[in-house]
Amino acid sequence: MWFLAVLLVIILVIAFKTIKIVKQSEVYIIERLGKFYKVADAGLTIIIPFFDHVRSIVSLKQQTMDIPPQGVITKDNVTITIDTVVFYKVTDPAKAVYEIQSLKKGIEYLAITTIRDIVGKMDLDETFSSRDAINDQLRLILDEATDQWGCKIDRVEIKDITPPADIRDAMEKQMNAERNKRALILQAEGERQSAITLAEGKKEAAILEAEADKESKIRRAIGEAEAIKQVAEAKAQEIHMVYDAMMKAKPDEKLVQLKSLEALKEVANGEANKVFIPFEATTALSGLGAAAEVFKDNKKSSSSSSSSSPNAVNLIDE
pLDDT in tens, the chain (318 residues): 677 777 777 777 777 778 888 888 899 999 888 888 898 888 888 888 888 888 889 999 999 999 888 888 888 888 889 999 999 999 999 999 998 888 999 999 999 999 999 988 888 888 888 888 899 999 999 999 899 999 999 999 988 888 888 777 877 787 788 888 888 898 888 888 888 988 888 888 888 888 888 888 888 888 888 888 887 777 777 777 766 766 666 666 666 666 666 655 555 555 544 444 554 545 544 554 444 454 445 444 444 444 444 433 333 333
Q: According to DSSP H, which parts of the chain are helical?
A: 2-18, 93-98, 103-119, 124-129, 131-146, 165-249, 253-268, 281-301, 303-307, 310-317
AA letter at 189: E
CA distances from 284 to 215, 242, 290 (A): 52, 21, 10
Contact 95/148 with Cβ under 8 angstroms? yes
Element containing residue 45 per DSSP (H, E) = strand 43-46
For residue 134, give the nearest of 120, 113, 118 by alpha carbon: 118
CA of 65: how far to CAs of 86, 104, 135, 293, in Å? Answer: 5, 8, 15, 145
Alpha-carbon span 2 to 20, nearest angstrom: 28
Provide the phi-psi class of 150: left if phi over 0, else alpha when psi is between -120 and 50, else beta.
left
Find the radius of gyration of the CA atoms of the chain: 63
Q: Do residues 102 and 171 lie in contact, with contact meaning Cβ atoms separated by under 8 Å?
A: no
Q: Do 58 and 27 meet the contact criterion of CB atoms below 8 Å apart?
A: yes
